[in-house]
Structure formats: C-alpha cells, structure tokens
Amino acid sequence: MSSRYTCPDCAGAIEKVVDGDLVQYRCRVGHLYSPLSALNTHHEREENTLWSAVVVLEEGADLAEELAKLENGELGEQLSKVCEAKRSLARRVRDVAREFADTIPIRK
C-alpha cells in the first residue's frame, strides 16, 4: 500500500506493508522500518538537514564577504548586505537546530 512518506535513509518512495497486526514501512531499495523506527530515523534526517542548512548558509556568507572585499561601490555594498542576511539566517536556523536537537525521539 503506497504512502505519502519517503524513506528517511534514501529519500525514495516508501510503502506501508500491513501483515495482520504487523505494520512496517519499506522503500524500493529495501530499507525496512517499524512505525516507531521510521519516525525516529526521520527525526535524525530532519536534524541533519537543519545542520546542513546552517553550514551552507555560513559558507554562502563567507563567500559573499570575500567577494564584497574585492568589489567597490554599490556591488560591494550589496554583497555585504547579502553576507549579513545569510549570517542572520544561519543564526536563526542554528537556534532551531539546537532546539530540535533537544527533542527526544520516542522510545518504546
């Protein structure tokens, strides 16, 4: 039975497999999860994605800052603003990631 979810390990399509009282989720490549393990693994993927966003934003800010130092006038000012905007967003995402990291996955 198809579902609207994706595999937390490979992001492929995942299907809900029901066999009597047993419910599992399985993706095309064979990753298999109980409902609870699917939720917890998805939680890890969410957290990793947030931290990846922080890294990409900080790298973008560093690059904009480096380019701003090479440019004069209006372009340099625009790049400086881009740098600050990316740093600000990275700080906000970092705060969200830290808050998210403090949430505890469900254990059975």
Structure confidence at residue 108 as a pLDDT band (50, 70, 90):
low
The stretch 80-98 carries a mean pLDDT of 97
Give a yes or no: residue 106 inside a domain. Answer: no
- By CB atoms closer than 10 A (0-12, 13-18, 19+), residue 7 is buried
- Say if residue 58 is in the same domain as residue 90: yes
Give a yes or no: residue 39 inside a domain. Answer: no
pTM: 0.81
The stretch 6-26 carries a mean pLDDT of 93
- Say if residue 50 is in the same domain as residue 76: yes
Q: What is the separation, in whole angstroms, between the first and last Cα of the chain? A: 25
Closest CA to 29 of 39, 15, 48, 40: 15
For residue range 38-49, list pLDDT tens digits in order: 999 989 999 999
At residue 101, the pLDDT reads 84
- Say if residue 51 is in the same domain as residue 14: no
Across the chain, which distance is largest between two alpha carbons, in Å?
Answer: 70
- Say if residue 29 is in the same domain as residue 68: no
- Say if residue 29 is in the same domain as residue 48: no
DSSP conformational letter for 103? S
Range of the domain at 12: 1-33
Residue 70 has pLDDT above 70, yes or no: yes
